[in-house]
């Protein structure tokens, strides 16, 4: 008998492999009947919303781990820089499990999840604004942009791994390095071959 956690884990795997996976496909992946699946989750939407909630729990956990609010108040530039790196690498790890949720239209359209997303984005924005004040992040970008840039590069990383263009072990470094320093060769280096 699969318990709720096992079903959610199997569903997560099924949606990562095929974001359009049906309830029948999820039941098969979990090794249970459709009737059993429906006893746990009324609908595909209910299942997706619970997975979306868990992905937000994980995001909140990452912000708790670095103690985002205390760190923002500290004004400690090296600590803020290190925490941003820790956060982004943590998000890349989480996206390996919850990647489909980044772009799932049911999850993105859910009002409760969107509200909670905004609360977490606000927590992050406080840290980003502090990072700007102490010279860790560029002062010319809007503080609300940083979270979107991170989000987009998580989608990049997940897609690059899915297509097979990038190895899973390399994706954290690629995302972090592209995010922080960009993909252009710095112009102050003489790089013409």
From candidates 3, 35, 111, 191, binder to a copy of itself by CB under 8 A: 191
Q: Three-state DSSP class for 75?
A: coil
Nearer to a copy of itself, 29 or 32 (CB): 29
From candidates 9, 13, 19, 97, binder to a copy of itself by CB under 8 A: 19
147, 128 contact by CB (below 8 A): yes
Asked if 1 is part of the footprint of a copy of itself (rule: CB under 8 A), the reply reads: no
Residue with tokens 């995010």: 179
- Six token digits for residue 103: 């772009």
Nearer to a copy of itself, 8 or 101 (CB): 101
- Six token digits for residue 75: 């004004």
Asked if 155 is part of the footprint of a copy of itself (rule: CB under 8 A), the reply reads: yes
Sign of the CA dihedral running 57, 116, 152, 86: negative
Put residue 182 in one of left, alpha, beta given phi > 0 → left and psi -120 to 50 → alpha. left
Asked if 174 is part of the footprint of a copy of itself (rule: CB under 8 A), the reply reads: yes
Asked if 82 is part of the footprint of a copy of itself (rule: CB under 8 A), the reply reads: no
What value does the CA radius of gyration of the chain take, rounded to a whole number of Å?
19
Asked if 47 is part of the footprint of a copy of itself (rule: CB under 8 A), the reply reads: no
Residue with tokens 């595909």: 44
Asked if 4 is part of the footprint of a copy of itself (rule: CB under 8 A), the reply reads: no
Sign of the CA dihedral running 177, 179, 181, 182: positive
Count of residues that bind a copy of itself according to CB under 8 A: 55
Asked if 130 is part of the footprint of a copy of itself (rule: CB under 8 A), the reply reads: no
**Among residue numbers 99 through 128, which ones bind a copy of itself (CB under 8 A)?**
103-106, 108-109
Q: Three-state DSSP class for 179?
A: helix
From candidates 3, 111, 115, 193, binder to a copy of itself by CB under 8 A: 193
Put residue 121 in one of left, alpha, beta given phi > 0 → left and psi -120 to 50 → alpha. alpha
Asked if 13 is part of the footprint of a copy of itself (rule: CB under 8 A), the reply reads: no
Q: Which residues bind a copy of itself (CB under 8 A)?
A: 18-20, 77, 81, 103-106, 108-109, 132-139, 141-142, 144-146, 148-149, 151-157, 159-160, 163, 165-166, 170, 174, 177-186, 188-189, 191-193
């Amino acid at each position: 008998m699969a318990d709720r956690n096992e079903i959610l884990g199997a569903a997560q795997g099924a949606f990562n492999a095929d974001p359009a996976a049906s309830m029948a496909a999820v039941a098969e992946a979990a090794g249970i009947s459709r009737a059993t699946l429906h006893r746990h989750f009324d609908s595909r939407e209910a299942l997706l919303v619970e997975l979306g909630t868990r992905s937000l729990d994980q995001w909140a956990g990452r912000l708790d781990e670095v103690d985002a609010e205390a760190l923002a108040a500290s004004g400690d530039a090296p600590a803020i820089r290190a925490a941003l790196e820790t956060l982004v690498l943590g998000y890349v790890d989480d996206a390996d499990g919850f990647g489909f949720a980044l772009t799932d239209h049911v999850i993105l359209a859910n009002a409760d999840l969107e509200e909670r997303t905004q609360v977490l984005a606000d927590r992050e924005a406080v840290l980003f604004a502090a990072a700007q004040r102490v010279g860790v992040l560029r002062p010319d970008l809007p503080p609300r942009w940083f979270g979107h840039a991170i989000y987009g590069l998580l989608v990049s990383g997940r897609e690059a791994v899915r297509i097979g263009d990038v190895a899973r072990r390399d994706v954290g470094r690629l995302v972090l390095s592209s995010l922080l320093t960009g993909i252009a060769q710095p112009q102050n280096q003489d790089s013409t071959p």
